[in-house]
Structure 1
Amino acid sequence: MSEEAPKTPKARKPKATAPDAAATAAAAPVTDVTAAAGAAPAAAPERKEITAKELLGEEIGEIKVRRAKGSKNITVGIVHVLATFNNTKVTITDANGNVISWGSAGRHQFRGSRKSTAYAAQVVCQEAAKLAMAHGLKDVSVRVKGPGMGRDSAIRALQLLGLNVSSIVDTTPIPHNGCRPPKRRRV
């Protein structure tokens, strides 16, 4: 019986790759006199502090208000926010109740449980307000209805766009022991 020595794998040579830029730059002769003298590298650009307004402007996107074709020239309006547990709807009307613009979470491609989020309400309110601002809207009073999550974020979105919010009224209907409510959920 002959004993064989355990086989060891052969060492592989590393594959030849293209030389990286740092290695070739180090090998290249120095022709610049200031670089050879060891002068200080170029000063780094100064970092500018970003203000809150700039941050919010990036989040919202650039607010470009174009005048609508059939512009109605309405400066004062009412924003009706319906925030339910399943959706958020925003309707902007003039003082007489004629609809200028509207939006809902489903219209802006939110589906399922995402429709009831505060972010969806913010997006809906921004888009409806931009359309209304194209008709000249500047001052609004807000009427909020319902218990949903989008109540506060919708109002905040209006203020960020630059609309002057003159009043906020809660118009949630409260029964004086009217209809019998639905049965309790057993979870």
Structure 2
Amino acid sequence: MKFYKKHGIIYISSTFNNTISTLTDIYGNTIVWYSSGILGYKGPKKSTSLAAQLISEKLTVSILKKNIKVVDVYIKGLGLGKEITLRIINNSGILIRSITDITPIPHNGCRKKKRRRV
């Protein structure tokens, strides 16, 4: 059970409108999550890099309080917050074991419309 206590998984969902970071244990149970709306940002300020920076700082403080030493990071989305969040987590002294990009990519797209007959 020592492995369970010192290992965590971070999910970063970074869209053009918001950044959400979730810390889970190895079984997927949520321990802590933060978004820019929780920190008091409203409207277009939620999508800024400053909001993502504050989210990652809060998350690293929570990780250190929970005594988690090693994390796996899963990143999803195309927004500004993913790079900044990774940089701050790495500089805080937490060991990042793996970084995985789980952004969904369409491999063939939607079906095209039928050709119009006149």
TM bucket (normalised to shorter chain) is 0.7 to 0.9
Identity value in percent: 41
The CA distance in 2 between the partners of 1:124 and 1:82, in whole Å, is: 12
Q: Which is richer in helix?
A: 2
> Which residue number in structure 2 is paired with residue 149 of structure 1?
80
Bigger relative CO (Cα 8 Å, ≥ 6 apart): 2
Q: How far apart are residue 162 of structure 1 and its match?
A: 1.4
Runs of 4+ in structure 1 over 3 Å off: none
Aligned alpha-carbon RMSD (Å): 1.5
Which stretches in structure 2 are left out of the alignment for 5+ residues? 112-118
Which stretches in structure 1 are left out of the alignment for 5+ residues? 1-72, 181-187
The CA distance in 2 between the partners of 1:113 and 1:177, in whole Å, is: 32
> Which residue number in structure 1 is paired with residue 93 of structure 2?
162
Q: How far apart are residue 176 of structure 1 and its match?
A: 2.2
SS at match of 1:100: strand
Q: Which is richer in strand?
A: 2
1:142-182 C-alpha deviation (Å, 9 max, x unpaired): 110000000100001111221111111110011222447xx
> Which residue number in structure 1 is paired with residue 63 of structure 2?
132
SS at match of 1:108: coil
Alignment of 1:1-187 (within 5 A): 74-179=5-110
SS at match of 2:53: helix
The CA distance in 1 between the partners of 2:11 and 2:17, in whole Å, is: 17
2:42 alignment partner AA: R
The CA distance in 1 between the partners of 2:110 and 2:92, in whole Å, is: 40
